[in-house]
Amino acid sequence: MNWLKEYKLSLKNLHAEEPLDVYFYRPLAFIVVKTFYSLPITPNQYSLLALLSGIASGYNLLKGTSQSFKWGAFYFLLFAILDCCDGMVARLKKNGTEFGRLIDGVVDYTVNVIVYVTLALGLKKQYSPDLFQPWLLVIVAGVSKAIHSISYDHYLTEYLSYEKGDGGFVVREIEDLRGRLDESEKSNASYIRRLALKLYLGYSSIQAGNQERILVFNPRLYCEKNLRALKMWSFVGPAVHISVLIISCILNEPYLLFFYSVVFGSLWLIMMFIYQFKINQELSEEKAA
């Protein structure tokens, strides 16, 4: 099997991937995965390495110097690459677990909080208290990132629901987890496995919600009209946020991060909501015709 075929197998649903991930971060991650593929490195160990890279990034950002910001950017880039490796290894070696998916999610959230907070504290050291504080802009940018990620995840999940023709696939995945948890408790499975299932169930329920989506439109037409919209949503997706933060740190320009996350991001969000409303109107008209 050639590398291109293996690379495609290492991905999730292509429509569920951000373009920047597919063409930049994941190819770099795939090179790492293939380089060390013969070694017994598990997905969880890649997650641990990603966490350590995120902590190293935060440590350097906290120093608050132009040089340390560049190192912070390097380690955050390394985190972004390693954060892709765990899932790719799990898909290629078919050794993914509920505990591993939980760890991946926790590491992702933890590192993002660390990086935004330490970047803000590092910037605070650079500016006089009498001047306007750019570190406050970083906090606002972090909040904006959270809003953008929630919006992107919402429309991504909706698109995948239509693509599968199943509005309740997320809810059923959660119900399946509950079933496996019940079975593990009845069979006296190890405490670690039961704990992992409980934690992952809670994490999945919070992340996905428990409401089944009603597919009001024709799934094929919905996917045709929304594929471009989904790619447009990725302009405020996690991968672009990571990239802009890295560039901002290299240039030591927090205003760049603020402009992208708050100014551009907010305008893009409004435009996308209008665009989605227009698409839904067209779908409703075609349904009524």
Q: What is the pLDDT of residues 54-89, one digit of tens each?
A: 999 999 999 999 999 999 999 999 999 999 999 899
Give the residue extent of every domain in the chain.
Answer: 3-167+213-288, 168-212
Best CA proximity match to 156, nearest among 88, 207, 197, 90 = 207
- Min mean pLDDT across 8-22, 196-210, 260-274 is at 196-210
More confident residue, 210 or 284: 284
Report the C-alpha gap between 53 and 50 in whole angstroms.
5
More confident residue, 8 or 147: 147
Per-residue confidence band for 103, with pLDDT thresholds at 50, 70 and 90: confident
**Amino acid 284: pLDDT:** 86
Residue 249's Cβ-count burial label (10 Å; 0-12, 13-18, 19+) is buried
pLDDT over 60 at 142, yes or no: yes
Terminus-to-terminus CA distance in the chain, angstroms?
48
Report the C-alpha gap between 150 and 173 in whole angstroms.
20
Report the C-alpha gap between 265 and 244 in whole angstroms.
12
pLDDT over 70 at 194, yes or no: no
Structure tokens that stand for 235 in this block: 């302009």
pTM above 0.75, yes or no: yes
Distances (CA, A) of 178 to 171, 252, 275: 11, 47, 37
Report the C-alpha gap between 95 and 141 in whole angstroms.
36
Secondary structure letter of residue 25 according to DSSP: I
Total residues belonging to the chain: 289
Residues 6+ apart with CB under 8 A from 203: 102, 105, 106
Structure tokens that stand for 176 in this block: 């399946």
pLDDT over 60 at 119, yes or no: yes
**Amino acid 102: pLDDT:** 75
CB 115 within 8 A of CB 54: yes
Fold type of domain 3-167+213-288:
Four Helix Bundle (Hemerythrin (Met), subunit A) (1.20.120)
**Amino acid 277: pLDDT:** 92
